[in-house]
Amino acid sequence: MDVVTAEEMRAFDRDTIERLGIPAIALMENAGRAIAEEVIALCRRRASSAGGGAWGAGAVDGGVRRNEAGVPGSDVGRDGAGVVGGNARRVGAGTAGGVVRCSETGATGGVADASSGRGAPGFGADATGFTVSGDAALTLAGAGGEHWLVLAGKGNNGGDGLAAARHLREAGIAVTLVYAAAPESLAGEAALQRDAAAAMGIPAVVYGKDALDLAACSGIVDALLGTGSAGAPRGAYAELIAAANASGRAIVSADIPSGLDADTGETHEPCMHASVTVCLAFLKRGLLQYPGAEAAGRVVVRSIGMPAALAREGGVKVSLLTPEVLTARLKVDLARRRSPEGHKGTYGHVLLAAGSLRMSGAGLLSARAALRAGCGLVTWALPEKLLPYVIGSVPELMLAPVAGGDGEWKAGTAAEVLRLSASRDCIAIGPGLGRFEGDTEWLRRLWEETDGPMVIDADALNILADADYRSWSRRHPVILTPHPGEMARLAGISTAEVQRDRIGLALSYAVEHGVILVLKGAHTVIATPEGQAYINITGHPGMGTGGAGDVLTGIISGLLAQGLDADQAAAFGVYLHGLAGERAARKRDHPAALMAGDIIEAL
């Protein structure tokens, strides 16, 4: 699934309208319908969980709770059905974080029971083969208990909301329009929608002019601001957003939550806190980046008639890391087939340069994770003093002590590590390494002279941050795996600046430095030197625990050793690490109990 900026979105809008000749009003109609269908689906879920969709039920957002930390449900959408993220890919799962899916809501095709929204064999079908298909996704049993407010801005986002209002009214839901600006100020397609809604007799109020109680409804459609918004919401927009958030009602945002920066995921003050965001046509970057991902609640991506190929033709370089992207674009064999005649030599050999006296566990975690990722052999190069302490703790592991009688690394070990690396398929450097005199030169030699792909993590990243490594030469791919603090040091900015637009930063850093960058944290970004980025949505907040990153380094190196190329190993490694974290969290009484070693055992 492609992930776009607001500017890219505008270009695709223009292309669809001007080149393909699809009228703008048709796109808006489709958008309105998609939003209405998601509102109706929410009402239906709420009714089935609360035993009725009465007024005020919106206070408890049945079935669509926002960002509820909990234990994720079943494994990620490996079914290839386009269900790609968060809660939606694990239906009914109360997992944390934003949620993404492609959706065709409700029953589709065939014979449908229009009153219940469920397929009902027999309805409308008779012996002659005559079939009546109900518009199930736009119908709602017991709609009389629902009253929704549609908050409409004066741009096209408002137009989408007004189109949705007509469908909601048709479903029997009471609707009141709330205009943020004078209705006369609407233009173009939005003005057409305004007039159509008025002609249908849908009641409307103007904010600041008419009396309004936002809590006196069962739900709110937020169609105030979309991809055309600039800066913090002003005036009536800001007041409506604050009042909607305070109302406690379920909020369904059109395209993006109003007040969100559609690109960076920054939330302005105020920003709508949606239960569901119905993202139109293409997933926006800001819906994947925190804090925007949290403000968006559950994200549903709906097509509105723009060809998906526009993104590819338009050079969109950011994708959600789904099983489909892993297989179709990155050509990863998700089944990880093993040859019947394969042996340990078939699956490659990792060399790990890691660990010091106080952080020997980091090396152990990486080494074990590499083995669990399926490589044939792992050799761990470590300061010799560590040997008696770690010997036997992982019997499958080979240990290669190098100079370091005090348990710390020495610059003089570079030649020895290089010698060891000659017969290994990849090298991972950094977990628990510590800093030492001459470490820049030590790392430069390994960087320039090792003859295979390299993973750089932890203190090895800090060494890089202090060096001008762009002048170092390198023949093979390098994967850097910084967490936001390490990334801040690498980029020479603050951690807050790193988090402000993780996708943008990861892309520019990877391209400028010619490295594969894995920017860790919730929704890890994998960016390549060619300017492609993948956003991972597997994982769990329980993974915020010491050593979880060392495990990732091991997994990526284990995959590299098995012959995956560096892009594949980085992306698939991050994906598998997240899945294992989810599985490990599920096994605990509470996800907070998760420890890094549990992630390895869940691989």
Residues of the binding site for (6S)-NADPHX: 156-160, 226-232, 237, 255, 362, 432, 483, 550
Burial of 311 (0-12, 13-18, 19+ CB in 10 A): buried
| Residue 99, CA distances (Å) to 73, 271, 288, 325, 546 in order | 13, 18, 9, 17, 26
- The site partner of 153 among ligand NPW, ligand ADP, K ion, none (C-beta below 5 to 8 Å per kind) is ligand NPW
| Residue 61, CA distances (Å) to 97, 248, 493, 527 in order | 16, 9, 39, 36
- The site partner of 522 among ligand NPW, ligand ADP, K ion, none (C-beta below 5 to 8 Å per kind) is ligand ADP
Which is closer to ligand ADP, CB of 243 or CB of 359? 359
Which is closer to ligand ADP, CB of 89 or CB of 520? 520
Task: Say how far apart CA 412 and CA 429 lie, in whole Å.
Answer: 16
Task: Say how far apart CA 326 and CA 278 lie, in whole Å.
Answer: 25
Cis preceding-peptide flag for 270 (omega within 30 of 0): yes
Task: Say how far apart CA 312 and CA 3 lie, in whole Å.
Answer: 11
- Letters for 6-35 (x = contact with K ion by CB under 5 A, - = none) are ------------------------------
Locus of tokens 């036997």 = 392
- Write out the H or E segment, with its range, that includes residue 124: none
Q: β-strands 250-254, 525-527: how paired?
A: unpaired
Residue 255, token pair as written in the block: 């395209």
* Residue positions forming the annotated binding site for K(+): 157, 222, 258
In DSSP terms, 207 is beta-bridged to: 210
Per CB under 6 A, 5 contacts ligand NPW:
no
Per CB under 5 A, 253 contacts K ion:
yes
Site for ligand NPW in 143-172 (CB under 6 A): 153-158, 160
Residue 420, token pair as written in the block: 């060891």
Q: Spell out where 195-273 has E strands.
A: 204-206, 219-223, 250-254
- Letters for 237-276 (x = contact with ligand NPW by CB under 6 A, - = none) are x----------------xx---------------------
Per CB under 5 A, 258 contacts K ion:
yes
Q: Let me know: does 459 contact 428? Beta carbons within 8 Å.
A: no
Site for ligand NPW in 303-322 (CB under 6 A): 304
Nearest distance in Å: CB 578, ligand NPW: 29
Task: Say how far apart CA 170 and CA 592 lie, in whole Å.
Answer: 46
Nearest distance in Å: CB 304, ligand NPW: 6
Per CB under 6 A, 292 contacts ligand NPW:
no
Q: Let me know: does 479 contact 569? Beta carbons within 8 Å.
A: yes
Burial of 471 (0-12, 13-18, 19+ CB in 10 A): exposed
Which is closer to ligand ADP, CB of 249 or CB of 540? 540
User: What values do phi and psi take at 149, rounded to 5?
Assistant: -100, 135
Judged by CB under 6 A, the residue of 67, 95, 229, 356 near ligand NPW is: 229
- The site partner of 455 among ligand NPW, ligand ADP, K ion, none (C-beta below 5 to 8 Å per kind) is none
- The site partner of 402 among ligand NPW, K ion, ligand ADP, none (C-beta below 5 to 8 Å per kind) is none
- The site partner of 548 among K ion, ligand NPW, ligand ADP, none (C-beta below 5 to 8 Å per kind) is ligand ADP
In DSSP terms, 115 is beta-bridged to: none
Which is closer to ligand ADP, CB of 377 or CB of 571? 571
Which of 279, 328, 281, 247 is closest to 86 using CA atoms? 279
- The site partner of 280 among ligand ADP, K ion, ligand NPW, none (C-beta below 5 to 8 Å per kind) is ligand NPW
Question: What residue ranges bind ligand ADP (CB under 6 A)?
Answer: 483, 520-522, 524, 539-541, 543-544, 546-550, 552, 577
- The site partner of 230 among ligand ADP, K ion, ligand NPW, none (C-beta below 5 to 8 Å per kind) is ligand NPW
Residue 538, token pair as written in the block: 């597997």
DSSP 258: T
Which of 309, 70, 279 is closest to 288 using CA atoms? 279
Tell me how many residues contact ligand NPW (CB under 6 A): 28
Which is closer to K ion, CB of 24 or CB of 525? 24
Interface with ligand NPW by CB under 6 A: which range of 137-145, 221-229, 308-316, 553-561? Answer: 221-229
User: What values do phi and psi take at 36, rounded to 5?
Assistant: -60, -40
- The site partner of 253 among K ion, ligand ADP, ligand NPW, none (C-beta below 5 to 8 Å per kind) is K ion
The residue type found at 478 is V
Which is closer to K ion, CB of 255 or CB of 567? 255
Task: Say how far apart CA 430 and CA 480 lie, in whole Å.
Answer: 10
Q: Let me know: does 259 contact 225? Beta carbons within 8 Å.
A: yes
* Residue positions forming the annotated binding site: 156-160, 222, 226-232, 237, 255, 258, 362, 432, 483, 520-524, 549-550
Which is closer to ligand NPW, CB of 306 or CB of 511? 306
Contacts with K ion, residue ranges (CB under 5 A)? 222, 253-254, 258
Contacts with ligand NPW, residue ranges (CB under 6 A)? 13, 24, 27-28, 31, 153-158, 160, 225-234, 237, 254-255, 280-281, 304
